[in-house]
Chains A and B, each alone.
Chain A
Amino acid sequence: MIGSRALRIEDRVLLRGAGRFAADTQRAGELHMRVVRSPVAHGRIVSIDGTEALRLEGVTAVWTYADVADLPAIGFRLTPREELLPYRQPVLARSVVRYVGEPVAVVFAESSYLAEDAAELVDVEIESLPAHLDPDAEPVVWVDAEQASWAAGNGERLPAQDSEASVFTIGYGDVDAAFSSGEGRVFTMDARIGRHTGVPMECRGLVAVYDEAEGQLIVDGAAKVPFWNREAIAAMNGLAPSQVVVRETHVGGGFGPRGELYPEDVLVTVAAMRLRAPIKWIEDRQEHLMATNHSRGQHHRLRALVDEDGYIRALDATFTLDQGAYVRTHGATVASLTASMLPGPYVIDNLRVTAHVRLTHKTPAGTYRSPGRYEGTFARERLIDAIAHGLGLSREQVRRRNLIGPEQMPYERPIQAMGTHLVHDSGDYALLIDKAAERFDFPAIRETVSRRRAAGERVGFGFGYFVEKSGIGPSEGARVVVDSAGAVTVLCGASSVGQGVDTVLAQVVAEVLDVPHDSIRVVRGRTDQFQYGRGAFATRLTVMAGSAALNAAKAVRDKAFRTAAAELAVSVEQLRIRGGVVEVEGAEHGGLDLGQIAGILEPLRASELKEEPGLAADGWFHTDHMTYPYGLHAALVRIDEGTGRLEVERFMVAYDVGRALNPLLVEGQIAGGVAQGLGGAMYEEFLYAADGTPQSTTFMDYLVPTAAEVPPIEMLVTEDAPSPLNPLGVKGAGEGGTTAVAAAIASAVDDALQRPGAIDSVPIKPDTLRRLLQPTTTHDVPTKE
């Protein structure tokens, strides 16, 4: 069962249209919330007048900051660096607006149509101020002392703060000494990654109601981190966490942005308490594209000291991260991950990475699938290509020269990643290149490229190597319960954003109890069903929840064995489980099925057997290190000379996941990840006018790849390096489809153009390619293979 291509247990419901997504919850007497958003990027609020809106019949309330002035700014869930506190976002703008789309007021009305009408009648007067949009420009004054002290919320009086929220440096060795040694050659790379983000197909939404009978606030439509959000919602509403029930319904994609605690979420729950009515809020797509976290948006400047054979002695890197207008729940997570994962699979003797987190008058930014690694991998792999070109070595040679060797594993890099020591747990990085080259026949691809190029086509081949991370702890738990009919339920603190976690957990439990995986029910993402859960992020669930479910299932099996042994008067060693029946080894018939054993374990009998009542057990898994899967992306591209159109003819992924619990789902994760990576490499970008007006607020201007743009993804999933850190040996597969896409495409485009280093930013758009295709005075220099 573990390792099989089991079909998903989630699908029957979804295929019949019977799922329950956020917008599908309807409650009698519900009020619809609509957010009034700032139309300007930066300005001072002069007045907000809701009188006209309130005149509409069916409009219940209009709130501005004054109505929620008692609420604090939204807190950090991860990487809560102290210096970021003054940049936290209020749930409604206080006196200054800082991006187009910032909530300035909310209206509540009896229908969603009416709420929209009313929102348009709210009269918002804002005096515009100049917008600061370039994170590379000198920092400007960002928040005054009053706002800074208020947002920090720690009782301290802070001075005004500038737009550089944080600067920090990590590293090891002595970079300066290396560079001043006078040995080796210096290579530089200036690389930019455009602003884009997850854009799940389902927009955000939340429905909350205060149940007076139960004395509980019920919140439906949460995702990703329901347990953390419960604590935050409880605190914001002055309730005990046990008085708040947060339930995840079906979730239409996560990818990082969805499920974090946003201003709207707080407003929905506060309104449910104060207006004593069910409150429903469903974001529309235009709102989503300017209100939900953006991501990426980085500018890297890399400098490397390299030996003649391509070995990198030192890497000195600086990058700016365009944080947008506020620092939200992720704190400094993206910057911190970018810095720590920048060296990737390479040894690099001396390292220094400096991060600049800078505010601009744009939508706030957070994580998106492979946060920091997509950006860093692009910059680093561009640098490696530049080194190869400069030294006259092949791109593959330079990579091989620098890879951490299998004999060096586990390999500790003396820096931290997400607050844990960065230890590459296992891997044979070079072996994966060999395997990929063989499986996809790189020599044949190179030959085809030369042949077609000779015939006048603009084709190119390129690749990028990366290391991912997954399975962040510290803990995850699961409970396996068998009822008297023998039906198995797994309850856990995990969350699902649509990636198939139910199936994987069911497979793990099915293997131990030897029952069909599709007979198992999985309950997750509900704070009233389990006591603890860290959430669905950072590709952690297969590792963490999977291991916890394994431990819980084993504990249930042990308990079933003990009970059956007593009942059948045999020893535990004589028992085995087959098809959900515990039987005596070698016996023809007899035995007890799990339902019968659950029946035996009713409270009275159980106490006689000295067991806890019920056939149930909890399992936990703890870890203080992450696991590091790794992979390689390769692309074959063709550029149309006339239009500059870039076509990805083939895209190949080789990825070592330690152990694939369900290859079907692993491949699905990779394919979906690649499509998103292609979006960021070629199509998707949030652009802004000079005054800060967003120009990508519909699917007409924010281009999500379709079936016409995404080629079939060729995959090689290997299991050469199981993780020693968990009982299943798994490393997460959720993000490795995305990580090196931009790097591989850029490398292939350089090759197609026969201009090494031509591509230093993504997305790569046709107009860029048209410009690069103009005849130049310099001669084409082929990349060496």
Chain B
Amino acid sequence: MTRSTVPVRLYVNGDRYDIDIEPRRTLADALREDCALTGTHLGCEHGVCGACTVLLDGQPVRACLMFAVQAEGASVRTVEGLAPDEETLHPVQKAFWEHHGLQCGFCTPGFLTLVTGYLEEHPEAQEDELRDVLSSNLCRCTGYQNIVTATMSAAEEMRG
């Protein structure tokens, strides 16, 4: 039995990807395996941990809970698309670095995309609100405080 595939066009970090995939392929797997963007991680594949978070038309979504075909034509931003260039880090990345907001770094792409997406829409967000937002992702290494601190500092930086 051969499996039928469908052509899908994804726009990821400003690049166009024309891929042929089974309709059941998740967006996360398509990004990782068909677009070779392995920065998006899978920690649970059931929508709880948030390691797979990407920005879909600017909104944080769980890439493990979406089929790639559902992202047809939409603009996807992954962790690889956050930094403006090879040398410079995005303010959120920089803040995570400076405040030791990561240890193993596995959850980090999900937090970075989550925070970036949220702060771009809610630049005035304060600590309580941000802690609430951050509680949608899991980190097993840091105990979160440095992630909260980094997020607050990034918010300030992005407000300018």
Contact = CB atoms under 8 A, between A and B. Distances in A.
Contact of B102 (A15, A203, A707): A15
A671 interface: yes
Contact of A498 (B51, B80, B105, B136): B105
A647 to B, nearest CB: 14
B100 A253 contact: no
A284 interface: yes
Contacts of B144: 671, 675, 706-707, 710
Contact of A15 (B38, B97, B143): B97
Nearest to A15: B93
A201 B80 contact: no
Interface in B105-134: 105-109, 112, 131-132, 134
Interface in A171-208: 198-203
A704 B96 CA distance: 22
B18 interface: no
B106 A668 contact: no
A11 B112 CA distance: 13
Interface stretch (A18-26, A72-80, A378-386, A451-459): A18-26
Interface string A694-712: 0000111000101111101
Classify chain B's interface size: 35 or more
Contacts of A442: none
Contact of A707 (B24, B103, B134, B140): B134
Contact of A8 (B36, B89, B97): B97
B127 to A, nearest CB: 10
A497 B104 contact: yes
B141 interface: yes
A749 interface: no
Interface in A650-672: 664-665, 667-668, 670-672
Interface in A3-58: 7-8, 10-12, 14-21, 23-24, 26, 56-57
A57 B104 contact: no
Given A57-B1, A708-B131, A113 B24 contact: yes
A203 B100 contact: no
Interface string B33-45: 1001111111111
Contacts of A201: 41, 43, 49, 51, 104, 106-107, 138-141
A21 B106 contact: yes
Contacts of A668: 100, 103, 141-143, 146
Interface of A: 7-8, 10-12, 14-21, 23-24, 26, 56-57, 112-114, 198-203, 250-255, 284-286, 497-500, 664-665, 667-668, 670-676, 698-700, 704, 706-710, 712-713, 737
21 contacts: A15-B112, A16-B79, A17-B79, A19-B105, A56-B1, A57-B1, A112-B29, A201-B41, A201-B106, A201-B141, A251-B104, A253-B140, A284-B45, A285-B46, A499-B141, A667-B100, A668-B143, A675-B144, A698-B44, A699-B49, A708-B131
What are the 6 A-B residue pairs with the smallest beta carbon separation, nearest first? A17-B39, A498-B104, A252-B106, A14-B105, A671-B143, A17-B79
